[in-house]
Amino acid sequence: MLSLSFLLRRLWPLLLLLLSSWPVWAQEPATATPTDGPDCPEACACAPGGQANCSGRALPAVPAGLSRRVRALQLDHNRVRALPPGAFVGAGALQRLDLRENGLRWVHPRAFWGLGALQQLDLSANQLETLAPGTFASLRVLRALSLADNRLACLEPATLGALPLLRALSLQDNELSALKPGLLAGLPALDALRLRGNPWVCGCALRPLCAWLRRHPRPAPEAETLLCVSPGRLTLSPLTALPDTAFSHCGLPLTPWDLAVVYAVGPVCFLASMAACLALGSVLTACRARRRRAAARRRPRRPLNSSPSPASPANPGSPAATAQV
């Protein structure tokens, strides 16, 4: 039987060899750092700092290959006519986006999804006529938005949503006649609003805009260009010259509490009126039926086996009396 000392003498060199090679085979293999695509789209020219210049390249769509390294994307003077959902997928770190003069006609409500870091967006000099609700709602850190020189005739509050950091909004050279109530309420940081070149109508719908302009005075040259084009007696009247008393004939808009009362009381009143009508109809029907029964009881009844009696001579109108005469 082998002794313990003999085994130790035989196995000791092998243990030393294993211990000497431990740092080599025990260390973890190096893993390659995953990349998120090229630094710049293939169709663009790039500069250090994430600048991607795709201007004037006749591009029909947003170029593929956008990555998180792109911080500024210039797509102006191309042929991007529409922005589909997720048009800028992969460019989650994009901060500035220029889409001027593309002939852009349609923007999907989810076109800008994923651009949570976007701060400046220029959509000017395009052919936009409408924008769907929620188009800019995901751009929570947006600070400057230009929609100038388009064909917008209406801009819904839900289109912009709540943009708490937006400071500059350009709506000049469109076809706006008024701004919807609540549009500016979701922009608490707004202090630069470009409005010239629109056919403003000095009606009740312009009251919120005039109130905002009084709270945010414009420089003199810019304020003089904000004019109404109708109605007749107010034609070419400066918007900033319209006091709140000019809208005294306008009804105040309903507050959320008023709307809640209307929606709550309206159905109740409708059901109550229906119940009252049914009850009144039932009462009238019961009264008529009672009158018919009472009239039927007062009417004399003829015996079942009685025969008509001969005419009495006292009745001069009877045939027997006539024959006797």
- pLDDT block averages, 10 residues each, the chain of length 325: 53 52 39 44 86 94 90 96 94 95 96 95 97 94 97 93 94 92 90 90 82 78 68 62 68 61 71 82 84 75 56 49 44
User: Which of 181, 198, 215 is at the close of a domain?
Assistant: 198
pTM for this one?
0.64
Q: How many residues does the chain have?
A: 325
Same domain (yes/no): 116, 242: no
Contact (Cβ atoms closer than 8 angstroms) between residue 150 and residue 124: yes
Pair of tokens at residue 15: 């243990």
Whether 106 is in a domain gets the answer yes
Whether 319 is in a domain gets the answer no
H/E element holding 73?
Answer: strand 72-74
Contact (Cβ atoms closer than 8 angstroms) between residue 171 and residue 150: no
Which residues, including other chains, have CB under 8 Å from residue 201's CB and lie 6 or more apart?
A: 177, 178, 228, 229, 230, 231
CA separation for the pair 70, 95 (Å, rounded): 8
Same domain (yes/no): 180, 47: yes
The domain in which residue 213 lies consists of: 203-263
Same domain (yes/no): 244, 102: no
Same domain (yes/no): 218, 174: no
Query: Reduced to 3 states, what is the DSSP secondary structure of residue 238?
Result: strand
Same domain (yes/no): 49, 150: yes
- Structurally, the chain folds into a number of domains equal to 2
In this predicted structure, what is the pLDDT of residue 28?
36
